Amino acid sequence: MLVANRFSEWRDRSSLPATFAFLFVVFTAGQLLISGFWSRGNWVPAAIGYGIGGVVYAAMLTGIIAWRRRRSGGADTTAAINRACRTGHAPAEVDAAIWLPELARRVSNLERDRILGPVVFGCFAAVGVVLVVLGESVWVSLGLTIFFVAFGVYYWFARRRILTRTASVLEQVDTRTPVEPHPTY
């Protein structure tokens, strides 16, 4: 199993306090490293500020994760849906009442993201081009521009691939769902 898949499985099944702690540590450590807090004379207030920001960030994302898990039928069902979307194959026994709306929502979101993602990365690349033209740290701006263009292309292909797999899972679950006949009176 790939490391990314192991992380995805952990993320899908981890407890909410563990998710909060992970998000807090990653956000706070990232902010501290990016800011170069150690090069300042008095870095304690900055570290406290980043810590408070980390608590807010982790609390908000943990709340969103809890809400999405609850909407999708719990952590185990969410993990099963995510695994099915990664592999493109639905498990034999699924609760269609939960899976169908969630998969339809994901297909809709992926179709929207497939268009909006490259537009967003294109806007960031355009800002990089403007910075290159203005002469603001040309090599960094040029590197960021190339990165955003490349990531926008990758994002489009990755979304197309996951959209195909998710739509396949939706079709598999939809064809298994028995259609109840309408009563005739």
Same domain, 113 and 167: yes
With respect to residue 77, please indicate whether it lies within any of the assigned structural domains: no
Query: Quick one: pLDDT band at residue 163, thresholds 50, 70, 90?
Result: very high
Whether 107 and 174 share a structural domain? yes
Please report which helix (H) or strand (E) contains residue 125, including its range: helix 96-134
Are 47 and 113 part of one and the same domain? Answer: no
Same domain, 118 and 171: yes
The answer on 142 and 171 residing in a single domain is: yes
pTM of the model: 0.72
Average pLDDT value for residue range 36-41 = 66
Residue 1 has pLDDT above 60, yes or no: no
Q: How many domains does the chain have?
A: 2
Residue 45 in domain: yes
- Residue 82 maps to a domain: no
Q: 78-119, pLDDT tens digit by residue?
A: 888 988 988 889 888 888 888 899 999 999 999 998 889 889
User: Is residue 24 one of the residues assigned to a domain?
Assistant: yes
Residues 95 and 25 in one domain: no
pLDDT tens-digit readout, 56-78: 999 999 999 999 888 888 888 88
Same domain flag for 48 and 5: yes
Q: Which domain holds residue 45?
A: 1-71
